Structure 1
């Protein structure tokens, strides 16, 4: 017996079927005229990805916290660790709250590439790059939410196939969550036909109902992959549009792209889910098996597949293309064999394999679509972008702008390689950089600059093009770590990519990862690291290394000893580059500079220094305002970065009768004419500023041909941060007091 809701649904469906019968007859008549070929102007299945839509998916990649899932029509979704099932979420919470050091059961323990899943669209997000992100869930309470203990599919003697997750592990089997409220399901260990029978809490499985007791409140399950994959859904099980599940195997009657199944259902199949011989012709009324791919209740759309790899799911789906890895490959002499005007085209590669080109990739983004012209061309050059496990076909592009750009693959990347990418998102622990649509790397927070940035969002913006150097790459796990430290990116010294590269006497750039009482640990590339003992930190004795060195600091180190077999290395900082620290760069306040200069003695350690030039001869500065501008990235590194209205921090380099020259970091110079020096009229420029004085300048004029620019130093035209003048005054007074006290302690001056 059907419930009242199911009866109403059946009536509505039958009424809809009658209304659509004329359209179906017309469509069949058209198919008789033109035949069902790949080039026929048929309507393609357009999926409306609304929240709650059910889809069949295939696991593509698994990381500790997220599963990438291949979906029909070449789409991709993401399954978060929080969207597995209630029991798994509870287990994770308990493990985090517990002091037990037992390893947390992460997603790689539960999922593997090629695994087939029934998913529900939990959320649709738009990423910061503007692309659609489909968030999925396999929680049985959402996937099987329309099922109840009284549903016909839980009462019939014909055994239906349902999605499930392990809720708990018992002595003789497993309590299974099938998402049906008020129903307890049990799976015995004896009934399992897996290679590994030790299932874990949260494990996903496709199970078959063996026995139903107590009006649906108790269910006995089995999980034989061969049986569940080949079990057909039957009309007598009472399936309706709200209870229909993706992944069900059904017998269908073919009418071109329209399929009849379960007595009163209509389904659709697109050309990507037909075998080539099925797509070129069909036998009217032929009954075959098909797999349900997705159900969209709002449009009453059911997508199906006739492809053999989806009909036979006993061993899952092949997640990777057969043969060599082809993603990123540029292929010439390709022929367009079919054009589907609402979807895209099919290319035949020289080795006779097929690739699909989405209609957006048939042309450049700024060109008008002309599918007929593309189809008429005898040959094409394409770049393979991805592989869809669900369709078992490569996806390619004809865009010249994409084909001509560098295309990175994890297996091709090597530590030490300089790459270019686009800033995707800033996180608390670093910055994600996309090298291509499929390759992304992480720049750890300590690697965003040569110095640790307090506010990286002021220096980096999403969409910004950046140059990085690869620190390490794990191709199998698709993990890529990059550095933006300018010294490392531009270093011309030998790179230590392995311990075999670290012969005694060789010098290379590295970065400090740990500062200990006994010295510093320096890392290079691919995890190569060495120890700089306390005695090798400096030519002068150092008592507290943490007062001088910091984590993330770029250093030049010389190899003293190395044992490649044991992976141990001893380094030295004593072979350092000498740099110049002008007296005028000891402070923002010129009156304090002579006092600070007098307080210094040979062997003193000077902290809080930063390099202000890009030339071979390094010039250091201790000016707080200049240091702030360098740390926050409020600088111009090249003349091409100069724009009218830009404000920069610099210092007076030369004073001339007609104005003053202002020097900025990275060796840039600007002229402040006499009329732009102050708000007051001045006769003598020498009485207004001192050489070395810190100033804030605003660019007013730019001569790109002669590579010169003018600036103004007028207070009325330069926007100074609120409270900046007061802060600098207070810092100057505190600096004066500190240096005076230091001189008194050294006996170099008397207290008044």
Structure 2
């Protein structure tokens, strides 16, 4: 039940309201690994519940479809001796609820509008046996120990827990009417159901909290809150007033992973913890801030994803504009902030903080250098402009996780999803081993170059060429963001190739259809089957075959000797079948038709030359030419170069020697002196 979510880099989120989700003690953990195991089984989720706690009208329970009957579903809620029934008429599924729609038979109910709901038709839309459903108790027959349920989304979101319950009956997700008892330094202390107490973290107030948030609440205020975690042993209950939690609707974030927010504003400084920054609306002194989340991306966010197109020829430069040198100046005495524009007043800064358009910067990410900021309150002030980069999300808290580090803000590659096959990248050698070279593209992204891809030819001692800490360039071969695996090549020929980069069979099919230069590509040999030919691999694990028959026609008897594994080859795409993931290649860079046409043109030109310039033929209007490149004047003292035309209009360069310029040998030198271009 912790709300400190892990970000895209495997780190913790900004501020947590319910404890660290990386706490130890998960069952099955080994070697001290931090791990939590979860369960969706109703008997575990509803453990400790009984008829007295779930038998009240309006109580919320989760269950699993046990069977489908004529008029509805029998639902297992995991409470011993209690049966539950969910009528078809009481089922309502949100069109944008991917998990609910995935549980439907036949994939009925295509999206027509995000956020819209539509009652299912009993004949075509059925929940499968085992599908999880969130329900509310419509009515209860205590004598029969039977419940009648409803799963209408609007009713579920508004169902308030009432009646007398004990601590063991309290569950995360329950909606409560509460009273403010006391305003704490980092949140609120509430009472509910007469004798229960619970706390609200500063992250889970109604609005993102600025420095003066405490003025918005006072004792005896009535608020609606939802339970987000319960510690029955310690008798502690965590509550949330955040609208997205209370209404059970996720926050629409105004920034995407790896975005650079150019002009965020410091909204709150938590000494020793971190910063809350906002980027909603326009950053104007005294303005209303009023564009809201919808305008946040256009107003303050600059996408810095460095995914290349399928050609993959993007350079490995900076991941952001970087700004001027003043962008990196210290924001205050501490020298670790990144100021971007003039300061705002606290009131104007707070207007920029909206759910979905505010981020938390942990103290470890608040400095532009790798060093930790000792005193945030001395380095940053409310209203200070900063440049930040999105490094993760905390949906429960409704916050973006961000970093102010210059190395992160300007990084080309921040996560594995930021690179694409065939993209050029740069990094630092972390290790040189027998199994290859490990390259760090960023703090959290590592790439492997196998021994085959360290050079155009196999290196016997890679450590002589690559040393730990050295800077290298590479080109991405394959990337699997889900498994955090990235393979690169450092073959010079592939790095410098200007030919098209094949990353899919569809691209290969298009290249084969266009022909010519579009079909000429670079690849590397990965196998030479004795009975098949040469297998050439390209980017994204796309590969093709050069048939053995073609190689033999070209006089290659031993294909394995001619094309060793790892050799970079230039070949031509002949055909491709994307549905079968097959491709035929040729080592002949021109097809037979092109070769035949070229041979015919050459033969015709030779015939024209032979017919037009037979020995003894008179040539008129021959033009003198300058000395060809590479011919010294001393070497050409006894000859001149002239341009003549054949009958077919072809221009030919001819040589005029000194012995052929005059009938009298003693006049040859004087005539040669007059023959100048």
* Short-chain TM bin: 0.5 to 0.7
Higher RCO, 1 or 2 (CA under 8 Å, sep at least 6)?
2
Mapped contact 2:424–2:476 kept (Cα < 8 A):
yes
CA shift for structure 1 position 420: 5.5
Cα deviation for residue 286 of structure 1 reads 1.3
Q: Secondary structure at the match of 2:167?
A: coil
Aligned length in residues: 451
Paired residue for 1:233, among 161, 167, 183?
161
Matching residue of 1:160: 59
CA contact (8 A) 1:183 1:219 kept: yes
Quote how far apart the aligned CAs of 1:511 are.
Answer: 5.1
How has the CA–CA distance of structure 1 residues 168 and 481 changed in structure 2, closer, same or farther, with 3 Å as cutoff? farther
Other-structure match for 1:357? 361
Q: 1:71 to 1:433 in 2, by over 3 A?
A: farther
SS at match of 1:272: helix
Of 222-231 and 373-382, the range deviating more from structure 2: 373-382
Indicate yes or no: 2:182 matched with 1:247: no
Find the aligned partners of 2:470 and 2:163 in 1 and give their Cα distance. 56
How far apart are 1:293 and its partner, in Å?
1.2
- Does residue 1:144 correspond to 2:149, yes or no? no
Report the equivalent of 1:559: 572
Does the C-alpha gap of structure 1 residues 122 and 536 become closer, same or farther in structure 2, counting only changes over 3 Å?
farther
Deviations, residues 499-534 of structure 1 (Å, cap 9, x unaligned): 355655724024548959444553422464433112
Alignment-derived partner of residue 369 in structure 1: 374
- Which structure has the larger Rg? 2
The correspondence for 1:273, drawn from 185, 193, 204, is 204
Aligned to 1:471: 477
Q: Which residue of 1 aligns with 2:110?
A: none
CA distance, structure 2, for counterparts of residue 366 and residue 140 of structure 1: 47
Question: Which position in structure 2 is the counterpart of 1:530?
Answer: 544
Q: Which moved more, 1:387-396 or 1:480-489?
A: 480-489
SS in 1 for 2:43: helix
Aligned partners of 1:164 and 1:368: how far apart in 2? 48
Q: Is the 8 A contact 2:7 2:392 kept in 1?
A: no
Paired residues of 1:508 and 1:558 also in contact (CA < 8 A): yes
Q: How do residues 675-694 of structure 1 correspond to structure 2 at under 5 angstroms?
A: none
d(CA) in 2 for partners of 1:504, 1:382: 46
- What SS class does the counterpart of residue 414 from structure 1 fall into? coil
Matched, 1:290 2:225: yes
Please give the secondary structure, in 2, of the residue aligned with 1:166: strand
The 1:161/1:198 distance shift into structure 2, 3 A limit, reads: same
User: Equivalent of 2:522, from 500, 508, 514?
Assistant: 508
Give the deviation of 1:218 after TM superposition: 4.3
1:328 matched to 2:255: no
Following superposition, the deviation at residue 331 of structure 1 comes to 3.7
User: For the Cα contact (< 8 Å) 2:479–2:540, is it kept in 1?
Assistant: yes
Unaligned stretches of 5+ residues in structure 1: 1-53, 62-67, 79-119, 425-429, 453-462, 576-752
Question: How big is the shift at 1:161?
Answer: 0.4
The aligned runs of 1:139-218 (5 Å cut-off) are 139-147=41-49, 150-156=50-56, 158-169=57-68, 172-194=71-93, 196=101, 197-212=125-140, 218=146
Are the counterparts in 2 of residues 141 and 179 from structure 1 also a CA contact under 8 Å?
Answer: yes
Q: Secondary structure at the match of 1:242?
A: helix
Distance 1:60 1:166, change over 3 A: farther
Partner of residue 409 from structure 2, selected from 391, 394, 403: 403
Q: Residue 392 of structure 2 corresponds to which residue in structure 1? A: 386
CA distance in 2, matches of 1:489, 1:141: 61
TM-score by length of 2: 0.54
Deviations 1:298-342 (CA, angstroms, capped at 9, x unpaired): 4332221111122112xx314x513x53x3334445432312235
CA contact (8 A) 2:18 2:238 kept: no
1:258 shift after superposition: 0.7
Structure 2 unaligned regions, length at least 5: 96-100, 102-124, 284-299, 301-351, 431-435, 459-468, 590-677
1:310 corresponds to: 245
State the distance in 1 between where 2:48 and 2:75 align: 18
1:57 Cα shift?
10
Match of 2:108 in 1: none
* 2:234 aligned to which of 299, 308, 311: 299
SS in 2 for 1:266: strand
SS at match of 2:89: strand
SS of 2:491's equivalent in the other structure is helix
Displacement after TM superposition at 1:193 (Å): 1.3
Give the distance between the partners of 1:442 and 1:207, measured in 2 at CA: 47
- CA distance in 1 between counterparts of 2:540 and 2:192 reads 56
Alpha-carbon contact 2:262-2:386 (below 8 Å) kept: yes
Report the alpha carbon displacement of residue 75 of structure 1 after superposing the two structures with TM. 8.7
Computed over aligned residues only, the root mean square deviation of the Cα atoms, in angstroms, reads 5.2
Is 1:482 the equivalent of 2:486?
yes
Go from structure 1 to structure 2 and tell me whether the alpha carbon gap of 1:369 and 1:123 turns closer, same or farther (over 3 Å shift).
farther
Q: Which residue of 2 aligns with 1:264?
A: 195
Offset from partner CA, 1:532-582 (integer Å, 9 cap, x none) = 112245655669x899999x856524105246999975323589xxxxxxx
Distance, in Å, in 1 between the alignment partners of 2:445 and 2:64 is 32
Structure with greater proportional strand content: 1
